[in-house]
């Protein structure tokens, strides 16, 4: 005899949940929003609940039939009745199996549909967040929202909902049936319930703690493997790591996971053993008391057998319902964590009256521009942030490792603004070069031109349209960016190029490769365009990856080009090839070049010198050298060796 029939497995899962979830105060409107997600599936949920109810009602059918087989068939010698009722028991068993399959199908349809809806909503919403969101948020935390929390949320409509309905109906129907058979034996059976729940509660708390610890340790293992199995991490380990130390540290964490697994397995066994022992105790009491009553003629032998069968269908649901609040709140908290992400408004949004940028060449105008990085709380959630590391914000990343990163609110001459009072203009087809010492604000200005951030004051205009009044689609279609560390997906060369223009023809791809001076490189690859470039393009050299990035830009054919240190850290041969490709990319386009390379700076129509977030000089190469200011100093210290 086992107590794990029906709701027993649900009870086991409940006790592994963190009981702290039941004390978590839900945000207002959470339940209403949950029901809104369920609305498209209301018909399927209704059918699902009908099936669950039918399965719960069948719980008492077999025990009652067993009673009749013994009392009305065996006791009277009616063979026909015994055979008939036994056949009905078999049919009920087949019916229960069929109901279970259909119920599982509806459960899967509802659950997987909810997972799909939540995941697509979260993914789409996250994709629309600003760059500041990604520099502040932890990738692993975002992935958890898309995986664990989404799956936890859908359980509200599958395992939790079905479990509650089935267990409530089972308990009510079983108790009513037991009372109708014998109130004396029912009372004896109920006396065991408190004793049944005590070990379950105690072991359940231990299981919940072990589950939390196991999640933490497994996350540590996953993080260690993720960091060391990507190309950059593997290189660092090869160059600076000690294999023995790495093995020992990994083994220590893996050993803790192993030990937790052993303790969990033993706790699980204690859980089942305790429930089994209580079931045996209850069975012994029922047979003892019921047997005496049967001898005295108060109860029948069939009733006694039916009671024994019903016991196994009572204690499991009772145990599950005793912890139902934890189940429900755990699912709702998962929904709430998903809603937290969906409620975070992107820092960059299209204005209600946003317009597309005009066709044709675009002039660039920057007027009275000031900028500071947004505070963490305005662009991400505390639960997604990096913790202490988030305070070391680096303007690093959006345009590929720019050097202008600062802790937010700690840059600029006034102690807050990264850029202050910037005014500059470029006619269509002109090239502006931004130079200055590290941290001057060059990359930040490039990010504002690409509208990866919005200015705090002032405006950035392309074609006479304030970028805050332009649609993001038209801005990103018009502005192309090449960074000093161009990112490549772990995919083929073709796929990385088509990312910029999915409908590009083979002829267009070939033309872009030729213009970027990388066609010969691609021809030499093992599978040509179908060669996988590796994680972040590490199978390619720096110069090859840069030229592929330029080919991607040319395929997109933007009208404004932002080049952020695109030739930095390259050898002379690679620099020459990349520079030739850049010349092609800038031809006929308004260009903003952030560079130290003399070959790029000297040919610019306008050189803008930034220092501490301000424009301190601007002019041509010759005029700035003659002025003997900061540019001339930079030229002597940084560029003279290239002449």
Strand partners, 367: 459
- Residue pair 393/380 in contact (Cβ under 8 Å)? The answer is no
**How large is the angle between the packed helices 159-181 and 324-343, nearest 10 degrees?**
160
Residue 394 is assigned to a structural domain of this protein: no
Residue 325 is assigned to a structural domain of this protein: yes
DSSP state of 374: P
- Residue pair 341/126 in contact (Cβ under 8 Å)? The answer is yes
- Residue pair 3/316 in contact (Cβ under 8 Å)? The answer is yes
- Residue pair 56/165 in contact (Cβ under 8 Å)? The answer is yes
Q: Considering 287, 321, 343, which residue would you say is the last residue of a domain?
A: 343
Q: Distance (Å, rounded) from C-alpha 165 to C-alpha 47?
A: 13
- Of 210, 314, 222, the residue nearest 269 (C-alpha): 210
pLDDT at 572: 67
Same-domain status, 286 and 431: no
* Backbone φ and ψ of 75, nearest 5°: -65, -30
**Cα angle vertex 433, ends 403, 475, to 5°?**
80
Residue 91 is assigned to a structural domain of this protein: yes
- Residue pair 532/490 in contact (Cβ under 8 Å)? The answer is yes
- Residues 472-489 as b/e (b if ≥16 CB within 10 A, e otherwise) read bebbeebbbbbbbbbebe
pLDDT at 316: 76
Domain count, the chain: 2
Q: Extract the tokens encoding 290.
A: 């019921």
- Of 384, 312, 315, the residue nearest 343 (C-alpha): 384
Q: In what order do the strands lie in the sheet with 590-594?
A: 479-482, 560-564, 590-594, 431-435, 606-611, 614-619
Residue 608 is assigned to a structural domain of this protein: yes
Looking at 344-428, list the stretches that DSSP marks H as alpha helix, in order from N- to C-terminal side.
Answer: 376-379
Q: Distance (Å, rounded) from C-alpha 49 to C-alpha 100?
A: 12
Pairing of strands 590-594, 560-564: parallel
Strand partners, 610: 615
pLDDT at 390: 37
pLDDT at 393: 37
Same-domain status, 332 and 431: no
Residues of the chain with pLDDT below 50 are 1-12, 15, 21, 386-415, 642-643
Same-domain status, 328 and 437: no
Q: Extract the tokens encoding 71.
A: 């009392």
Q: Considering 328, 343, 358, which residue would you say is the last residue of a domain?
A: 343
Q: Would you tell me how many other CB atoms lie within 10 Å of the CB of residue 242?
A: 10
Residue 435 is assigned to a structural domain of this protein: yes
**Residue 66, class by beta-carbon neighbours within 10 Å (0-12 exposed, 13-18 middle, 19+ buried)?**
buried
Q: What is the CATH number of the domain that holds 509?
A: 3.40.50.300
Helix (H) or strand (E) holding 102: helix 79-127
Q: Distance (Å, rounded) from C-alpha 390 to C-alpha 402?
A: 17
Residue 223 is assigned to a structural domain of this protein: yes
Same-domain status, 431 and 315: no
Same-domain status, 439 and 302: no
Same-domain status, 336 and 479: no
Looking at 406-541, list the stretches that DSSP marks H as alpha helix, in order from N- to C-terminal side.
Answer: 442-449, 472-478, 493-498, 506-515, 519-524
Helix (H) or strand (E) holding 595: none
Q: Extract the tokens encoding 558.
A: 């933007």
Cβ neighbours of residue 194 under 8 Å, at least 6 residues apart?
none
Q: Distance (Å, rounded) from C-alpha 81 to C-alpha 90?
A: 14
Sequence-ordered strand ranges (E) for 55-137: none
Residue 75 is assigned to a structural domain of this protein: yes
**Cα angle vertex 38, ends 35, 42, to 5°?**
115
pLDDT at 4: 42
- Of 358, 349, 201, 176, the residue nearest 275 (C-alpha): 201
pLDDT at 570: 62
- Of 323, 322, 324, 328, the residue nearest 34 (C-alpha): 328
Same-domain status, 336 and 440: no
Q: Distance (Å, rounded) from C-alpha 319 to C-alpha 275?
A: 10
Same-domain status, 431 and 336: no
pLDDT tens for 394-426 read 333 334 443 333 433 334 434 478 899 999 999
The structure tokens 């005029």 sit at 623
- Residue pair 559/359 in contact (Cβ under 8 Å)? The answer is no
Q: Which domain holds residue 176?
A: 8-343
Q: What is the CATH number of the domain that holds 192?
A: 1.20.1560.10
- Of 4, 3, 5, 11, the residue nearest 327 (C-alpha): 11
Residue 403 is assigned to a structural domain of this protein: no
The structure tokens 């409509």 sit at 157
pLDDT at 576: 72
**Residue 44, class by beta-carbon neighbours within 10 Å (0-12 exposed, 13-18 middle, 19+ buried)?**
middle
Q: Extract the tokens encoding 398.
A: 């959006």
Same-domain status, 62 and 170: yes
Pairing of strands 479-482, 560-564: parallel
**Cα angle vertex 405, ends 415, 622, to 5°?**
90
Same-domain status, 432 and 306: no
Q: Distance (Å, rounded) from C-alpha 377 to C-alpha 385?
A: 9
CA 377 to each of CA 17, 132, 136, 349, 398: distance values in angstroms, whole numbers, following the listed order: 30, 11, 9, 17, 19
Q: Considering 308, 324, 343, which residue would you say is the last residue of a domain?
A: 343
């Amino acid at each position: 005899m086992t107590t794990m029939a029906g709701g027993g497995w649900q009870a086991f899962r409940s006790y592994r949940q963190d009981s702290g979830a039941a004390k978590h105060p839900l945000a207002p409107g959470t339940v209403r929003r949950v029901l809104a997600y369920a609305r498209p599936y209301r018909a399927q949920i209704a059918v699902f609940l009908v099936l669950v109810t039918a399965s719960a009602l069948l719980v008492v059918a077999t025990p009652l039939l067993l009673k009749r087989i013994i009392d009305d068939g065996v006791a009277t010698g009616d063979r026909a009745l015994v055979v008939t009722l036994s056949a009905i028991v078999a049919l009920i068993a087949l019916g229960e199996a069929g109901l279970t399959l259909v119920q599982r199908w509806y459960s899967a349809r509802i659950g997987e549909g909810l997972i799909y809806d939540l995941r697509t909503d979260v993914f789409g919403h996250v994709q629309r967040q600003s760059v500041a969101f990604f520099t502040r948020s932890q990738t692993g935390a975002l992935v958890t929202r898309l995986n664990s929390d989404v799956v936890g949320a859908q359980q509200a409509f599958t395992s939790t909902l079905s479990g509650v309905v089935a267990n409530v109906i089972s308990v009510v129907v079983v108790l009513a049936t037991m009372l109708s058979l014998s109130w004396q034996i029912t009372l004896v059976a109920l006396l065991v319930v408190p004793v049944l729940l005590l070990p379950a509660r105690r072991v359940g708390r231990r299981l919940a703690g072990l589950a939390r610890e196991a999640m933490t340790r497994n996350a540590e293992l996953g993080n260690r493997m993720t960091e060391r199995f990507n190309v950059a991490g593997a290189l660092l380990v090869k160059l600076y790591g000690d294999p023995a130390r790495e093995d020992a540290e990994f083994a220590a964490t893996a050993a803790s996971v192993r030990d937790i697994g052993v303790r969990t397995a033993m706790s699980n066994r204690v859980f089942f053993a305790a429930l089994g022992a209580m079931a045996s105790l209850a069975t012994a009491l029922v047979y003892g008391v019921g047997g005496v009553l049967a001898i005295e003629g108060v109860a029948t032998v069939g009733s006694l057998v039916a009671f024994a069968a019903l016991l196994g269908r009572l204690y499991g649901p009772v145990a599950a319902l005793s912890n139902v609040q934890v189940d429900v709140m755990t699912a709702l908290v998962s929904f709430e964590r998903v809603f937290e992400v969906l409620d975070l408004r992107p820092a960059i949004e299209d204005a209600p009256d946003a317009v597309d940028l005009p066709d044709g060449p675009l002039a660039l105008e920057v007027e009275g521009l000031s900028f500071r990085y947004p505070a963490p709380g305005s662009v991400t959630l505390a639960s997604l942030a990096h913790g202490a590391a988030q305070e070391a914000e680096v303007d690093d990343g959006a345009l590929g490792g720019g050097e202008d990163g600062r802790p937010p609110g700690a840059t600029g001459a006034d102690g807050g603004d990264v850029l202050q009072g910037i005014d500059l203009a470029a006619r269509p087809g002109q090239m502006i070069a931004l130079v200055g010492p590290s941290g001057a604000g060059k990359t930040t200005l490039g990010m504002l031109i690409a509208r990866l951030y919005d200015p705090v004051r002032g405006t950035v205009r392309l074609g006479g349209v304030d970028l805050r009044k332009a649609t993001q689609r038209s801005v990103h279609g018009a502005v192309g960016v090449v960074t000093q560390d161009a990112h490549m997906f772990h995919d083929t060369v073709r796929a990385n190029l088509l990312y910029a223009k999915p409908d590009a023809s083979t002829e267009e791809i070939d033309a872009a490769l030729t213009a970027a001076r990388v066609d010969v490189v691609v021809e030499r690859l093992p599978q040509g365009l179908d060669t996988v470039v590796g994680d972040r393009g590490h199978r390619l050299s720096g110069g090859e990856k840069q030229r592929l990035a330029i080919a991607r830009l040319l395929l997109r054919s933007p009208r404004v080009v932002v080049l952020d240190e695109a030739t930095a850290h390259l050898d002379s041969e690679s620099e020459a090839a990349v520079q030739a490709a850049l010349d092609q990319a800038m031809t006929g386009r308004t260009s903003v070049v952030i560079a130290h390379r003399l070959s790029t700076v000297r040919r610019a129509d306008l050189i803008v010198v930034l220092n501490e977030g301000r424009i301190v000089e601007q002019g041509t190469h010759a005029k700035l050298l003659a002025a003997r200011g900061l540019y001339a100093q930079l030229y002597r210290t940084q560029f003279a060796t290239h002449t």
